[in-house]
Every structure is written in C-alpha cells, then in structure tokens.
A and B are shown apart, each in its own frame.
Chain A
Amino acid sequence: MKSAVIVFPGSNCDRDLAVALRDVTGSEPAMLWHRETALPDGIDIVAVPGGFSYGDYLRSGAMAARSPVMRAVAEAAERGVPVLGVCNGFQVLTEAGLLPGALMRNAGLNFVCRTIALKVENAQSIFTSGYAAGEEIRIPVAHHDGNFTADEGTLDRLEGEGRVAFRYAEPVNGSARGIAGIVNAAGNVIGMMPHPERMIGPEHGGSDGRRLFEGLLEAVG
C-alpha cells in the first residue's frame, strides 16, 4: 500500500502519522513537502497531519489549504483516493472545501490535551470498518481549535447521510452535536480532531487508533 504524508511548515504530527502508516502497512510513506505539485503515482492513501501549519496564522489550516500540494490532494480526492486529515489536517480539509463546516476556537478557550472517549457513529466507512457501530473507544486529543461548527442544514445532512464518523462521548471543545470526525459525501475523505496515530500500541496506552489504520488497509487492500 502506497501512502503519503503531507508536510507543511509547522506540521508536528507528520512523523507520528508516518510511523503509524509504516507500522500497519509495512511500507514507508512518502513525505511530501507543501510546495510539491503532484502526488506519487498509484497513491493509495494521503494523510494530512496535525500540527500548526503556518503557525495557525490568519485561521487554523487556512494557509495550508491554499498551498500547491493541496490542489493535488483535492484532485486525488476527486478521483476517489482516500484522504485522512487529523487535527490540523481536519482544519486544512475544511478550509480547502474538501469537507463542510469549520473548526473554531474551543468553547472553553483552553487547549485540550488528554485522552478522551469517542463513540463510533458509523462503522461502514473505509476509515471506520475496524470498529463496531456504537462502540466507545479512547483516543488522545490535543487542540485549541476543535470546535466544529456548521449551519443546521449541513449538520442535519451529515447526520442523515451517516457522515458523522466519531462523536465525543464526553464534553471536550463545544463542537456542534459533539461531532469529532466527519466524512465527505463520497466517503473517501475523513477529518477528525482526535489523533489515532497516537494510540497504535501498548506503549501508547492502547491500540484503538491503530484499528483505524488496520481497517483502512483492509478496505483499500
């Protein structure tokens, strides 16, 4: 399986994502600098990592979303290539218009950094097939701007179409309807604030995150 991790100035979870992908897929991901204009041929999955791209200047993810590499990511997403955005990656994907809504400052104004309980809402997607629907899992969060917001119509559509992948099982950041992760209409793009790459084995305190990558590997082949 051929994977790529996008690297922006300020990304700081790119290596963690690469380690998780390498560990689960057995092959080394390509690390792609934001100025690249093309993805490797035959790419099976693109990961947009957490961190503070461009220092979160202007808005979290805003500058990164307009970088050259994101045009290639958008084209790949259009072709059906799976795209996983974690934390700042989720912010980048909403700013790029690949996912609806926006991520605002946490309602409590605090940076939240702890392991939280998540409910798997939809286990049918290629990203969540390693879980059971309704299952509660534990994955770390670390963010200041994770307060997902969208208009009521968009929220209703996300819920109605089963596009809410994960919901917080406890109060975290004020997100609309407790949404922690969503997929696009075609089901090949996911954005989520929690960090599955930080929970891939016993040394991390659990492997609930690893199951996302394993499920993805199985789904994509």
Chain B
Amino acid sequence: MKTRIYVTLKNGVLDPQGKAIHHALEGLGFAGVEGVRQGKLIELDHADDVSDADLDAMCRKLLANTVIENYRIERG
C-alpha cells in the first residue's frame, strides 16, 4: 500500500527556494503567477496494517519539522 505525505512550509515562513522558482518562471515570460511555495512529496510503500496513528507519528517525529512545516497524509 502506498501513502503520500506532502510536507509544505507554514504560511508566513519565508521560502527562498520558492521565490527563486517564481523569478525563474517570470524570466521565462509566464505572467500571472502570484507566488510559488516549494514543498516535498514523500511516498511510503508500506504494509496494509500500518495505522493512521503510526503515519501521523512518523510525520511528527521525523518527516516534517513542525516548527516551520505542515504535513498532509494521503493514504492509499
């Protein structure tokens, strides 16, 4: 079974990498992009009996730094 975990910076946390991507898009002539935030996708391949609580604990203990990041779990 596959679970996708999306890790994104919290609102208000400066994202220099997102800003650089934004500038590059503008440099390519794409108008109308108002902001870019870069995050991470972590894909887990795991046994069916891994619980939601375990997945949440994995995010809190390692996969996301909750000082600056949010995470979203998409199971299955």
Q: Which residues of A contact B (CB under 8 A)?
A: 58-59, 62-63, 66, 94-95, 100-102, 104-109, 147, 149-150, 174
Contacts and interface: CB of A to CB of B under 8 A. Distances in A.
B43 to A, nearest CB: 14
A149 B14 contact: yes
Contact of A174 (B14, B61, B62, B65): B14
Interface of B: 13-14, 16-17, 20, 61-63, 65, 67-68
Decide if the interface of chain B is mainly helix, strand, loop or mixed: helix
Given A102-B65, A104-B68, A108-B16, 14 more contacts: A58-B62, A59-B65, A62-B65, A63-B62, A66-B61, A104-B13, A105-B17, A106-B16, A107-B14, A109-B20, A149-B13, A149-B14, A149-B67, A149-B68
A63 B62 CA distance: 8
B62 A62 contact: yes
Contacts of B14: 104, 107, 147, 149, 174
27 contacts: A58-B62, A58-B63, A59-B65, A62-B62, A63-B62, A66-B61, A66-B62, A94-B67, A100-B67, A102-B65, A102-B67, A104-B13, A104-B14, A104-B16, A104-B68, A105-B16, A105-B17, A106-B16, A107-B14, A107-B16, A108-B16, A109-B16, A147-B14, A147-B16, A149-B14, A149-B67, A150-B67
